[in-house]
Chains A and B, each alone.
Chain A
Amino acid sequence: MTDDDITERARHDRLVAAWRDPPGLWGFLTTVDHKRIAARYIVTTMFLLFLAGMLALDMRLQLSAPDMHRMTPQLYDESFALHGSTMLFLVSVPVMEAMAIWLVPLMLGQRNLAFPRLAAFSYWLYLGGVLMLWIPHLLDVTPDLGWFEYPPLSGPAYSPGHRADVWAQMITFTEVAALAASVNIVATILKLRPPGMTLAKMPLFLWAMLVASLMTIFGLPAVMLATSMLISDRLVSTNFFSPAGGGDVLLFQHIWWFFGHPEVYIIFIPAVGFVSSIVETFSRRPIFGHAAMVLSMLAIGVLAFGLWVHHMFAVGLPRLGNDFYTAASLTIALPAGVQIFCWIATMVGGRPRLSVPMLWVAGFVVTFVIGGLSGVMTASAPLDLQLTDTYFVVAHFHYVLVGGAIFPLLGAFCYWFPKATGRLMSKRLGLVAFALIFGGFNLGFFPMHILGLWGMPRRIYTYGPEMGWGGLNLLATIGAAISVAGGIVFVIDAWRSFRRGAPAGTDPWGGSTLEWATASPPPPYNFDYTPAVDSLTPMWTSELIAYDGLGIDKRELLVTSVADAEPLYRQNSVGPSIWPLLASLGVAVLFVGSIFTPWAIVWGAIPVAIALTFWFWPTRDRATTGPFRKRTP
């Protein structure tokens, strides 16, 4: 019996049998389904977003009036350290990877990621990072020096105990996880594109995820280097950052910001992808200036690595050097400005329809552009000397990160929620949540620009009444509280819609890309047939062409060529496995142990090696080749 003879129903059943997870807890622990992995990533990040938001509200209450005593300085320092570290390392970066892990195979018409077990490993290791920060918090070993911990304050002389170690190893956990996820995403986008999706016909979302993942691969080793050197200083007295031992404290800052600046774009570029998808669908036309958008993302990806010094203008580097980095930092406003233009031009030249995701895009433009322009101000070395380390900068990076990444993320959540759950979200609650979050955020954070210009430094736990900062701080606290209320409405809406929202159908918005071709929620194997692509908006152009020939009784993926997406061969795809979990447990033992003794790196390597050996034990068949052909309906 050939595949053509069986009914669609039988085909579905056999595909499910090949791709489903084992039932129950074992299935939960061993799954390599990119959708399940992404879902737990997203749930974890959203929970942490809530915790970090509570910390923020707590700090806002402390600052709402002069000379408040509800928090001790130690508690305040722990709060901002925990808030910043959680938001940067445990929420913003992982949630973007999670969106990619969920969406990239769907947008490629594929059945899974290139390295399914690596995706599981990424999540477990990321979860290790979460526990690395929050379990010590329960044990009162909370990091207390902010999201970047400059030596010598974080060095052995001024930070005895294990607070700084906890922070540094949390970063090691999350960065290894992020590197694994990025390699996976890059390989998937470059090698698993559907036939016909040449690089020139690749949707902007995929470009965004490709650029962000490549940036992660280039940028994150730097931060691991910085924190590993810090740990070495603390553990075995290497003196990298200790002037008395011949080290240099600025070395840490250079390495840190070589990662730290690209980090912002690693968070922002995926948002470019979200916004492009939403704007395209709701403007009912392809994005204006596709090539310009791709080039500007690539330009940002390259430029981002050449302007880290603008975080260090006040350290006393040569002035001409500062001018160079000023110019480099200003340059990045050009590609960002191009992107903003292209999105709005798409609306102007299209047939725009208002919807909740589209509102988030509008809120994103209104907010993010302020953050971009205040970024232009801080990019100027002489002016930055007045602005850096004040509330102006606090306002600036919240406008960039919340306006530029969280707003698009919430829009993306609303946009793809029907695909992920098969149900529609409430339009009315969505509107209320948007109004509260958008309004509260701007009410809360705009005054911080002025506070910065009134001389309020960041990271102070209190201030005197004579400084005149009380009124605006109170306003900021009220705004933050309104925002949090909006967040609660958002969560309620998502939960209610998940339980009993109206059925969404396959394609509720009339989307342009391949993920809208499969059922909502997608079956474990994603697509019955391999779709083929002949334009940037395959769902709009013609009857979707599909290929047949991928296995239905075993897990197979279609590998295509990098540039032209010519079908090359069918690749066996691995099934569920417990080894990614066990391997990450081994790595966790190594990482946690190395806080206490350098020997942990030696004996900790043994369980890791054992786990990896079993993980890669060659039990699979070799890749097969066979008839792969255009499907005749």
Chain B
Amino acid sequence: MKRRAALAATLALGGCSGVQTPLAPVADQAHSQYDLLLLMLWVCGIIYLLVLGFLVLGLWRARGGRAAAVAPLLEPADKRLGRLFAVWVAIIVVGLLLLAGGSFLVERSLAAAQADETLRVRVTAHQYWWRVAYRDPAGGGWVETANELHLPVGRTARIELGSADVIHSFWVPNISGKMDVIPGRANAIDLTPRRLGWFRGQCAEFCGPQHAHMAFDVKVETPAAFAAWLAVEARPARAPGNAEQARGMQVVTQGQCAMCHTVRGTAAAGRNGPDLTHIGSRRSIAAGALSMTRAHLQGWIANPQAIKPGTMMPAVTLSPADADAAAAYLESLK
């Protein structure tokens, strides 16, 4: 156990933040996969050492010099090697049976998680962002957000995956392995997080030029905090708090932004881009490309193609003052 922890620490801590690695599992699914990885490393490590040892034995007596000068051994005595061969085959068979058995058990545990019927989350992958929708416990409608998934600790959530365009893959390594998001197919993945914190997910199937910037944040929180967050998300956008934000609201909800984005409670009801109703409360923008700050919002609005060349978001021509106001308004949408 101690050695396991040490191995995990050595491997995981190198990865700096450790928020996107299967080596620091925080959920049942990732845990069982991690245990299987350790079993694999042991079995494969032992077999590799045996091969290396045997190879050293084979080359030990090797000499330089011309091979042609050495008479070939036409009838070598192979009795002992023959016995060793049988042992070797037995070792491989036992090792493979062990791994196949372990694999089967882990696969079964992944299938066994019973999703809590009330916690179903719809995640729709788009070229290059994630639409996330929860059932509103109060109203029963769908509450939309983007690029951020909140999960209550200790409960199993069933993520229902759909694609709006091409194939993507949903992956939060600390919580579970991948599930591809395939147009025309309804895939689902169960997640049972056991530890609080922020974790990172990323698209794992090449989906176009901005595949590299298609990440999302996952927050595992207490059930109470989760319920509070969802209640806030279900509300319409807050009203602007000052004149600048009011100007920003006008820009966002009556200008080009509204063609693609929704800000619930306003005139903006576009469906092509992420829902912006509570964007100010999110951790990052542009699918994990930038952290949520007013300066980043402004830069992103001014020239998205400079930050994510190939993104579907077009550059919007705004005066510096309007861009500033739009960023101020969006940042205020907590």
Contacts and interface: CB of A to CB of B under 8 A. Distances in A.
B180 A323 contact: no
A542 to B, nearest CB: 10
Interface stretch (A43-51, A162-170, A503-511, A583-591): A503-511
A376 B182 contact: no
B51 A369 contact: yes
Interface string B87-98: 011001100100
Interface in A327-374: 327, 330-331, 333-334, 337-338, 340-342, 344-355, 358, 362, 365-366, 369-370, 373-374
Contacts of A314: 169, 177-180, 204-205
A454 B15 contact: yes
Contacts of B207: 153
B167 interface: yes
Contacts of B54: 341, 344, 348
A323 B110 CA distance: 12
B138 interface: no
A453 interface: yes
B228 interface: no
Contacts of B36: 380, 382-383
Contacts of B319: none
A453 B96 contact: no
Contacts of A537: 72, 74
Given A315-B180, A353-B66, A509-B68, A322 B107 contact: yes
Interface stretch (A135-143, A283-291, A299-307, A567-575): A283-291
B271 to A, nearest CB: 18
B299 interface: no
Interface string B132-169: 00000000000000000000000000000000011101
Contact of A510 (B11, B47, B70, B89): B70
B5 interface: no
B48 interface: yes
Nearest to A465: B16
A467 interface: yes
A74 interface: yes
A351 B167 CA distance: 55
A355 B209 contact: no
Given A284-B71, A348-B81, A152 B32 contact: no
A73 interface: yes
A383 B37 contact: yes
B96 A334 contact: yes
B107 A319 contact: yes
Contacts of B177: 314, 382-386
Given A353-B70, A377-B44, A331 B103 contact: no
Contacts of A467: 15-17, 20
B183 A365 contact: no
A618 B117 CA distance: 76
Which of A244, A250, A342, A348 counts the most chain B CB atoms within 10 A?
A348
B55 A73 contact: no
A604 interface: no
A389 B181 CA distance: 14
B16 A466 contact: yes
B205 A389 contact: yes
A507 B68 CA distance: 8
A285 B99 CA distance: 36
Which of A315, A331, A362, A457 counts the most chain B CB atoms within 10 A?
A457
B68 A508 contact: yes
A376 B40 contact: yes
Interface in B172-200: 173, 176-180, 182-185, 187-188, 200
A391 to B, nearest CB: 11
Nearest to A390: B204
B202 A457 contact: yes
Contacts of A288: 76, 78, 81, 85
Contact of B55 (A315, A365, A381): A365
A284 B205 CA distance: 49
B262 interface: no
Given A282-B67, A467-B17, A468-B17, A453 B211 contact: no
A613 interface: no
A472 B14 CA distance: 10
Contacts of B68: 507-510
Contact of A353 (B30, B63, B169, B185): B63
B22 interface: yes
A263 to B, nearest CB: 19
Contacts of A457: 171, 202-204, 211
Interface string B22-38: 11000000101100110
A83 to B, nearest CB: 14
Given A316-B187, A369-B48, A386-B22, A331 B62 contact: no
Contacts of B84: 345
A84 to B, nearest CB: 11
Contacts of B180: 314-316
**Chain B: number of interface residues, binned into ranges:** 35 or more
A153 B71 CA distance: 60
A458 B207 CA distance: 12
A498 interface: no
Given A285-B73, A389-B169, A537-B74, A381 B103 contact: yes
A348 B176 CA distance: 45
B104 interface: yes
A319 B110 contact: yes
A509 B188 CA distance: 60
A585 B81 CA distance: 55
B302 interface: no
A150 B81 CA distance: 48
Nearest to B43: A376
A153 B168 CA distance: 10
B206 A466 contact: no
B180 to A, nearest CB: 5
A74 B310 CA distance: 9
Given A316-B180, A352-B58, A353-B66, A373 B48 contact: yes
Contacts of A146: 206
Which of B52, B70, B179 counts the most chain A CB atoms within 10 A?
B70
B74 A541 contact: yes
B254 to A, nearest CB: 32
A314 B16 CA distance: 27
B57 interface: yes
Given A77-B209, A285-B72, A352-B62, A152 B183 contact: yes
Contact of B100 (A281, A330, A338, A366): A330
B309 interface: yes
Contacts of A77: 209
B17 to A, nearest CB: 6
Contacts of B277: none
A374 B43 CA distance: 11
A383 B310 contact: no
Nearest to B202: A457
B313 interface: no
B159 to A, nearest CB: 12
Given A285-B73, A345-B81, A510-B70, A72 B169 contact: no
B16 A353 contact: no
Interface string B1-23: 00000000001101111001111
Contact of A373 (B47, B104, B184): B47
Contacts of A383: 33, 36-37, 40, 103, 106, 177
Given A288-B85, A316-B179, 10 more contacts: A248-B184, A286-B76, A349-B77, A353-B64, A354-B64, A366-B52, A388-B204, A454-B21, A455-B21, A457-B204
29 contacts: A158-B165, A243-B184, A250-B182, A284-B72, A285-B72, A288-B76, A314-B204, A315-B180, A316-B185, A319-B110, A323-B103, A331-B96, A334-B96, A342-B85, A347-B55, A348-B54, A350-B73, A366-B52, A376-B44, A382-B110, A386-B22, A386-B37, A389-B171, A454-B20, A454-B23, A461-B209, A461-B212, A467-B17, A540-B74
Nearest 6 CB-CB pairings of A with B: A468-B16, A385-B177, A243-B184, A347-B58, A510-B68, A454-B15
